[in-house]
Structure 1
Amino acid sequence: MKTSEQSKFGLTSKILAGMAGGIILGLLLRNLFPASEFIQEYITEGVLHVIGTIFIASLKMLVVPLVFVSLVCGTCSLSEPTKLGRLGGKTLAFYLFTTAIALTVAILAAVIVHPGNATLVAENMSFSAKEAPSLASVLINIVPTNPLQAMTEGNMLQIIIFAVIFGFAIAHIGDRGKRVAALFEDLNEVIMRVVTLVMQLAPYGVFALMAKLALTLGLETFGSVVKYFFLVLAVLLLHAFIVYPTLLKLFSGLSPFTFIRKMRDVQLFAFSTASSNATLPVTIETAEHRLGADNKIASFTLPLGATINMDGTAIMQGVATVFIAQVFGIELSITDFITVVITATLASIGTAGVPGVGLIMLAMVLNQVGLPVEGIALIIGVDRLLDMVRTAVNVTGDTVATLVIAKSEGEFNENVFTDPKAGKTSGSFDKEVHRGQ
């Protein structure tokens, strides 16, 4: 009985406790010592910043080797060029389809609710956005000129392309390729073990991240953009818990309730880190060991999704575009709305899975329809919190696509999916709970 009670307090419970504890500590310090330089310098930017940054760095440390090795392993097993092409086509089509749905729903919601008010325009709004890449440059930069440089810079699209080509070559050189493939399989196991070790530090990292957020988030901006904030939040939740489960049931027949229950760890990580790339090790581990997707599918669809599938960001861009147009009293035509959908859908391909990058891509979308980029200053105060939610939406969409495609390719283990203990007792996240009992 004791073992059962202890096992319930697994990773999800620990992360939730870390999140709650961090928020409570941050709010207490903020209200008890509102102007304390000591708190600001030694707690917020000192202890909490160091712990949170180390945790994020430890996750990002795993991204490049995990993506490269797992994708090479997956591609090695796809020896048929037609199968690889079919898998890539299905993945890209599904991601673009869900992004288009997200944008359409977001724009319709913004038009109906009308969150923007022309009286909100501030005299001294400013936002300096980096120049967003053009579609042509995105397409050109997909192919790496230097694979090692792509790895050191974390250029995920280039890493994915090189890994696919490398794995495809291994699969077509006979016995020598099999020896190399076996080496990569062993490396993949080692990296997954490292993922498990890093996950044990998660509750402490999440505690520090949430405490710092509670200490630094500017709540005074909520008053002017409260309708925008809650509208984006509502559409994000609708997409995550209605649209995705519906698509999962429609295209694969799998239980949405089982899926949502097993996705909690991934969603919490994505929420606390606000980075699809940093969450990628957890997403891959969950998709394979908790949800039953084969490695050859998950290692292809999930890294690709973390790079190009940004439904949460698309929702923000759709609502924000209409909101800024309403604030400045600018009427958008049907053509403008269509342009926003197309531009933002294609822009998602070039959107990196790191915190805050959605604002840069929003600048490109606003320019495309002739809206003032300065309007971003209205929403930047609350974007950090929304960024955390939309990252959770993004990784949920990546995983839904993985399960749908794995089921369609016959590379799916339904016994793992239906087993509530799958991935928990086989050496993954909660293995440490059972030690010493």
Structure 2
Amino acid sequence: MPSFLRKFPFSLQILLGLVVGVLLGFVARANDLSWLTSTLDTVGGLFVQLLKLAVPPLVFTAIVVSVVSLRGVANAARLALRTLLWFGVTALIAVGVGIGLGLLTNPGRGVTLDTAGATAPERTGSWTDFLTGIVPTNPVGAFVEGNVLQIVFLALVVGAAAMLVGPAAEPFVAVNRALLEIVQKALWWVIRLAPLGTLGLIGNAVASYGWDLLAPLARFTTAVYVGSAIVLFVVYPLVLVTAGRLNPLRFYAGAWPAVQLAFVSRSSVGTMPVTQRSVERLGVPREYASFAVPFGATTKMDGCAAIYPALAAIFVAQVFGVDLTVTDYLLIAFVSVVGSAATAGLTGAIVMLTLTLSTLGLPLAGVGLLLAIDPILDMIRTATNVAGQALVPTVVAAREGILDREAYDSAGRRDVTDPVLPAKPTVDRPADDLAPNPA
């Protein structure tokens, strides 16, 4: 990266890449410059590939090390349960926003689309995906396929076994610690390329899709963006204030680099390293963040698994002339809260949407009507996902008294690419809380 760019904060670098990418995208689209579109696609695609390349070893080693380091923590199980509880609570609120907005805007009413040519996607979601998706057929396959949920499962089992084995497992744990440090160092070389990746990703999106495809689906697209904005800037701040007694402005100052990167990369898993760094900068202990963030990246999807399926189900029902009942809306809420775990490790919102439609008995061909604009919708969905993945660990840490308030209040004053200092213990924090057992 040119030295003069390092003088600018990381968030500003990404914003600059986004602006330049939009301009280049419009130039490529207006002048039909296929070579420029291809170049932007290549630059953005390579950046996402590099991010995903580092994710499997990062997730595995981080969870193994964190499990072993938590051997002396009395409240580890409580932290995990509280995290899952807040995942469910915030997802339920998000799906409520999606359903309410759908009933208010009627996104599919009056829309005239050719439903005869719409076909169901090749890959669909089902409730058995949770059982078949969480346990790999072999450990190598999980890493080859990049199935993060399976990697998390393997890491939890291996970490727990290493913890129980005790001193005999120390050489193995030491190797994982060393590998984790190496992966993190290499990964931050990739993260520093985010402004270039942003330029390519957003530029290709504008050049390939523009705004032409939005016309017949303008109401639905607007509803998805408005619903996500309500969750991002109304629901989440209220949760921070009421549940965590935290300043929302400080939260967004610390989490914004991850939200920005999620918007342009459209990958919660690819953004996970920045999300974890942001959460740690907000004062969440590293031992806890290394659990919560990987779990969130695979199961906490308020955009893709709550707001979007709710609005899309209402849209498809209205386009095909199907009346939804109160029971159907309750089913949408149930699928959104529970189903995100069932589709973890599979492809994005498409699988989640097919699961929702099949549960309601709606035509799966309706998914085909939305595929054309899916990349445009996926940007705001993923940004909402990642904001929620940062929110829950922060709120849980605040409620459990383990959040470093000083770090939280100063999060926005430091750049996300700077090193993270060890969290300071709070006054009301037990002496052995979240401290590795020296034995």
What is the TM-score with the length of structure 1 in the denominator? 0.88
Q: CA deviation at 1:86?
A: 2.3
- Name the amino acid aligned to 2:319: V
Counterpart position of 2:37: 44
Q: CA deviation at 1:237?
A: 0.7
The 2-side partners of 1:352 and 1:217 are apart by 27
- When residues 426 and 137 of structure 1 are mapped into structure 2, their CA distance, relative to the original with a 3 A threshold, is closer
- Name the amino acid aligned to 2:185: R
- When residues 299 and 208 of structure 1 are mapped into structure 2, their CA distance, relative to the original with a 3 A threshold, is same
Selected match of 1:98 from 90, 101, 110: 90
Counterpart position of 2:383: 392
Counterpart position of 1:432: none
Residue by residue over 1:84-103, the C-alpha shift from the partner in whole angstroms, topping out at 9 and shown as x without a partner, is 43233222221122112111
- Name the amino acid aligned to 2:302: D
Q: Does 1:170 align with 2:162?
A: yes
Counterpart position of 2:373: 382
The 2-side partners of 1:185 and 1:367 are apart by 44
Superposition pairs of residues 130-141 of structure 1, within 5 angstroms: 130-141=122-133
User: Is the Cα contact below 8 Å between 2:97 and 2:227 reproduced in 1?
Assistant: yes
Which has the higher mean CA deviation after the structures are superposed, 356-365 or 389-398?
A: 356-365
Superposition pairs of residues 415-430 of structure 1, within 5 angstroms: 415-419=406-410, 420-422=412-414, 426-427=418-419
The 2-side partners of 1:119 and 1:167 are apart by 52
Q: CA deviation at 1:333?
A: 0.6
Residue by residue over 1:169-212, the C-alpha shift from the partner in whole angstroms, topping out at 9 and shown as x without a partner, is 22233333445434433333322222221122111111111111
- When residues 49 and 401 of structure 1 are mapped into structure 2, their CA distance, relative to the original with a 3 A threshold, is same
The 2-side partners of 1:54 and 1:425 are apart by 21
- Name the amino acid aligned to 2:15: L
User: Is the Cα contact below 8 Å between 1:132 and 1:364 reproduced in 2?
Assistant: yes
Superposition pairs of residues 352-367 of structure 1, within 5 angstroms: 352=344, 357-367=348-358
Q: CA deviation at 1:228?
A: 0.9
- Name the amino acid aligned to 2:59: V
Selected match of 1:160 from 152, 163, 178: 152
The 1-side partners of 2:176 and 2:186 are apart by 15
- Name the amino acid aligned to 1:416: A
The 2-side partners of 1:232 and 1:153 are apart by 30
Counterpart position of 2:425: none
Residue by residue over 1:208-245, the C-alpha shift from the partner in whole angstroms, topping out at 9 and shown as x without a partner, is 11111111015323221111111111110110111112
User: Is the Cα contact below 8 Å between 1:275 and 1:353 reproduced in 2?
Assistant: no
Counterpart position of 2:52: 60
Q: Does 1:195 align with 2:194?
A: no
The 1-side partners of 2:282 and 2:329 are apart by 37
Tell me how large the CA RMSD over aligned residues is: 2.4
- When residues 328 and 384 of structure 1 are mapped into structure 2, their CA distance, relative to the original with a 3 A threshold, is same
* Secondary structure at 1:287 match in 2: helix
- When residues 326 and 168 of structure 1 are mapped into structure 2, their CA distance, relative to the original with a 3 A threshold, is same
The 2-side partners of 1:424 and 1:43 are apart by 31
- Name the amino acid aligned to 1:219: W
- Aligned residue pairs, count: 416
Residue by residue over 1:57-78, the C-alpha shift from the partner in whole angstroms, topping out at 9 and shown as x without a partner, is 1111111111111111211122
Q: Does 1:326 align with 2:325?
A: no
Using the aligned pairs only, state the percent identity.
Answer: 32
Residue by residue over 1:144-164, the C-alpha shift from the partner in whole angstroms, topping out at 9 and shown as x without a partner, is 342222122112222112211
The 1-side partners of 2:36 and 2:102 are apart by 39
Q: CA deviation at 1:396?
A: 0.6
Q: CA deviation at 1:336?
A: 1.0
Q: Does 1:127 align with 2:119?
A: yes
Counterpart position of 1:12: 11
* Secondary structure at 1:173 match in 2: helix
Q: Does 1:210 align with 2:177?
A: no
Selected match of 1:317 from 287, 291, 309: 309
User: Is the Cα contact below 8 Å between 2:10 and 2:415 reproduced in 1?
Assistant: no
Counterpart position of 2:337: 345
Selected match of 2:177 from 162, 170, 185: 185
The 2-side partners of 1:54 and 1:157 are apart by 23
The 2-side partners of 1:61 and 1:225 are apart by 35
Which has the higher mean CA deviation after the structures are superposed, 213-222 or 11-20?
A: 213-222
- Name the amino acid aligned to 1:366: L
- Name the amino acid aligned to 1:390: R
* Secondary structure at 1:248 match in 2: helix
- Name the amino acid aligned to 2:162: I
Q: Does 1:21 align with 2:12?
A: no
Selected match of 2:287 from 285, 296, 300: 296
What is the TM-score with the length of structure 2 in the denominator? 0.88
Q: CA deviation at 1:259?
A: 0.5
* Secondary structure at 1:318 match in 2: helix
Superposition pairs of residues 79-90 of structure 1, within 5 angstroms: 79=71, 83-90=75-82
Q: CA deviation at 1:249?
A: 2.2
Q: Does 1:242 align with 2:234?
A: yes
* Secondary structure at 1:70 match in 2: helix
Q: CA deviation at 1:300?
A: 0.7
User: Is the Cα contact below 8 Å between 2:65 and 2:173 reproduced in 1?
Assistant: yes
- When residues 119 and 136 of structure 1 are mapped into structure 2, their CA distance, relative to the original with a 3 A threshold, is closer
- When residues 353 and 397 of structure 1 are mapped into structure 2, their CA distance, relative to the original with a 3 A threshold, is farther
- Name the amino acid aligned to 1:386: L
The 1-side partners of 2:203 and 2:132 are apart by 41
Selected match of 2:363 from 372, 380, 390: 372
Residue by residue over 1:263-298, the C-alpha shift from the partner in whole angstroms, topping out at 9 and shown as x without a partner, is 12101110111010110111112111x212112111
Q: CA deviation at 1:417?
A: 1.4
User: Is the Cα contact below 8 Å between 1:310 and 1:351 reproduced in 2?
Assistant: no
User: Is the Cα contact below 8 Å between 2:133 and 2:344 reproduced in 1?
Assistant: no
Which has the higher mean CA deviation after the structures are superposed, 165-174 or 5-14?
A: 5-14
The 1-side partners of 2:28 and 2:129 are apart by 46
